[in-house]
């Protein structure tokens, strides 16, 4: 590796019941990038007519989930009573705080012709002072996210600040999450105001400081190093980053916390049915794993 690119991560595939995700974080030796502790690349997946995505109700604590799609649609429901379809370019930002339950499913109308799905789901660990905040859900339509265009490059700021533009998405710690599209041969400087950064490539290949990064790989960048990315061919990528959190975070199943004891309590609460129900989706649920 170079002094700018410290590691290149490859994904691990996971079957979530009808569609495959490629998981980049947490990785051995690289658990987090800024506050981002979980990074799943969804699809691209195509399901037969009549089939769809059914992520049954399940709980979270002490984190925020961020869903961002490039293709397809999911219907979010949660224990606060929100029901919201998410479509390409929108942001669903759900803060679990002291505890929330949600589901994500394909709408029945989408299942008729067969569901297509392509996107990202990330988890953001919360600062210690905000881990037990009240749960919340906010939807941001694609039109409110700033777009920065330079010759051969198209950059959309999903959350945080980058390329001189700031997203309206409210976060509880300093971070950046941005989508980048590059024409073949085009270059873009990468924002360097955050101590930890990573670039994930979804399509094509890029060159970062002399290191080739292919589709499905994530390049980790050194702190305080200026860097630019060049499309070896037409490329599609996302940049994540932020300040390191105030201490270690533990992760078990859908729970993230600075406290192992808090995770044990959440496990018992889910097992014994003490989490709230999801209105309109309160029959099925994902049972607590036995390991």
User: Where residue 3 falls among pLDDT bands split at 50, 70, 90?
Assistant: confident
Neighbour tally for 215: CB within 10 Å: 15
Global confidence as pTM: 0.96
User: Encoding tokens for residue 231?
Assistant: 């499309």
Write the pLDDT tens digit of every residue in 192-227. 889 999 999 999 999 999 999 999 999 999 997 889
Write the pLDDT tens digit of every residue in 53-63. 999 999 999 99
Does the pLDDT value for residue 103 go beyond 90? yes
Does the pLDDT value for residue 92 go beyond 90? yes
Write the pLDDT tens digit of every residue in 232-267. 999 999 999 999 999 999 999 999 999 999 999 999
pLDDT of amino acid 20: 79
């Amino acid at each position: 590796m170079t002094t700018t690119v410290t590691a290149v991560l490859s994904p691990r595939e996971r079957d979530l019941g009808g569609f495959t995700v490629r998981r980049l974080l947490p990785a051995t030796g690289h658990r987090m990038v800024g506050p981002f502790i979980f990074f799943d690349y969804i699809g691209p997946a195509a399901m037969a007519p009549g089939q769809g995505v059914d992520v049954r109700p399940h709980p979270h604590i002490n984190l925020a989930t961020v869903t961002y799609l490039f293709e397809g649609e999911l219907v979010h429901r949660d224990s606060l009573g929100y029901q919201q379809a998410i479509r390409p370019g929108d942001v669903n930002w759900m803060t679990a705080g002291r505890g929330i339950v949600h589901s994500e499913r394909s709408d029945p109308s989408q299942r008729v012709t067969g569901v297509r799905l392509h996107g990202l789901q990330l988890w953001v660990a919360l600062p210690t002072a905000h881990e037990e905040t009240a749960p919340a859900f906010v939807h941001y339509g694609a039109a409110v996210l700033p777009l920065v265009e330079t010759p051969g490059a198209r950059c959309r700021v999903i959350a945080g600040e980058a390329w001189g533009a700031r997203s309206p998405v409210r976060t509880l710690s300093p971070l950046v999450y941005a989508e980048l599209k590059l024409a073949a041969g085009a270059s873009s400087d990468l924002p360097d105001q955050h101590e930890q950064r990573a670039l994930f490539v979804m399509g094509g290949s890029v060159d970062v400081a002399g290191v080739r990064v292919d589709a499905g790989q994530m390049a980790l960048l050194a702190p305080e190093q200026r860097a630019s990315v060049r499309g070896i061919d037409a490329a599609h990528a996302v940049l994540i980053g932020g300040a390191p959190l105030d201490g270690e975070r533990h992760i078990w199943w859908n729970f993230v916390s600075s406290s192992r004891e808090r995770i044990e309590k959440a496990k018992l609460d889910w097992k014994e049915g003490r989490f709230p129900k999801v209105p309109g989706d309160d029959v099925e649920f994902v049972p607590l794993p036995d390991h």
